[in-house]
Amino acid sequence: ADRRPDSSTQKGTHAMRNAYASGGCLAAGLCLIAAGPAAAQESGSATTPRLDADVLIEIQNDGAFASENDANERNDLFTTTEPFLSFKATEHFKIESGLVLEPVRAPAPGEDRFFEDHGLFAEELYAAYETERFSIKAGKYNPSFGIAWDAAPGIYGVDFAEDYELTERLGAAASYTMDAGEAGAHTLTVNSFFADTTFLSRSAFNARGELDKADGGPSNTEDPASFSVILDGGGMADLPVDYHLGARYQEGGPGTPRDETGLVAGVSGRVPLGAETTLEPIAEIAYLDDFNGTRQDRTYATLGGTGIRGPWHISASYTGRFVDAPGAADSDDTLAELSAGYSFATGLTLDAGYRFEESANTNTHIIGALLTYSFSTSIP
């Protein structure tokens, strides 16, 4: 049910997330609380009510200069712009929304694009209540499962892992964090969700269409029959790594032959290599049984790292996608990338990189550049 273009055309960094609260009672409650105290109240070092805005702007150019399929050869210049707004009504209660402006249609075979086919949509809009150890949110949001689709390094490191990213679901999530001192902090999260079939599944400027229940697909059931359970941890005194463990189940919608189940395990870290140099490695493996409700099992293995020295950074990553399709030919796909960049003090980052992909027995080579700018502001 993912109407976005193939991930090979997009970087896929989703640095700002989280979304729409559904149900009349919840909506009425949000309106009452949002209209609450007119005077600002102290909340630690910040005041409430307060509106925070974080904006990530990416301008990317991908030049596919060589492919065994001529239809893959094109130049694609596009933006992925993500404004994230957070209205903090009280110290613990907030309403958050995440918009995305990006291409919502796949490019025509062999044709170049220049800022075409962009659509604006609400990826997330939800209400959240948070304390030091416990949090709950409800609305439209991105349920947690995996980290490589967001954290794999470089311009293209996330692209294959985006296949199993969960986005634009309606539902609720609850998390509890246990602080174990030198043994680190460990957070258990439970998500219950279904695919968004409301008007918020549409996009402005260029239409991607509204998702209907009749379209079928994973978790397109209009009831919270799908779920994921996640355990995250880190901060251990003698082990400078964070871990991510998860399981998920997506019930198939109308016409979808199978229900999907999945498992994921990942680690990431930050290792000092000297006074000014740091290495940030990541590794993740994900297994999806009956991927997207089809008779197809997939395994993804991602390995990568970023070396940082001052404002300079260099990244490399590899992802293998292994597809087992009963009754059809199996396939082993490969994505490898190497990129480097410079981070300016103004919040601007410039990267350039090379990507090699072997998919469906076809090799494609891409050289790309990525310009990233982010900024934040608060009112008051």
For the chain, 380 residues long, the average pLDDT of each consecutive 10-residue run is 36 37 35 37 64 97 96 96 97 97 93 97 98 97 98 97 98 97 95 97 95 96 97 91 97 96 97 91 98 96 97 98 88 97 96 96 97 95
How confident is the model at residue 3, as a pLDDT?
35
**Rounded to 5 degrees, what angle do the CA atoms 267, 285, 255 make?**
135
| Of 208, 202, 138, 163, residue with least CA distance to 322 | 163
Cα(145)–Cα(264) distance, integer angstroms: 7
How confident is the model at residue 223, as a pLDDT?
96
Q: Which residues of 292-303 are buried (b: 16+ CB within 10 A; e: fewer)?
A: bbbebbbbbbbb
Task: Report CA 77 to chain centroid distance, whole Å.
Answer: 21
Torsion of CA 5, 9, 323, 248, to 10 degrees: -60
How confident is the model at residue 77, as a pLDDT?
98
How confident is the model at residue 27, as a pLDDT?
35
How confident is the model at residue 237, as a pLDDT?
87
How confident is the model at residue 359, as a pLDDT?
94
Torsion of CA 63, 66, 67, 70, to 10 degrees: 80
The distance in angstroms from the start CA to the end CA of the chain is 40
| Of 320, 322, 323, 321, residue with least CA distance to 295 | 323
Cα(201)–Cα(186) distance, integer angstroms: 34
Burial of residue 304, with CB atoms counted within 10 A of its CB: 0-12 exposed, 13-18 middle, 19 or more buried:
buried
Instruction: List, in order, residues 6 or more apart from 97 with CB less than 8 Å away.
Output: 18, 19, 20, 84, 85, 86, 122, 124, 125, 126
How confident is the model at residue 18, as a pLDDT?
35
How confident is the model at residue 34, as a pLDDT?
37
CB 126 within 8 A of CB 139: yes
How does strand 185-195 pair with strand 226-234?
A: antiparallel
Question: Ramachandran region of residue 219, left (φ > 0), alpha (ψ -120 to 50) or beta?
Answer: left
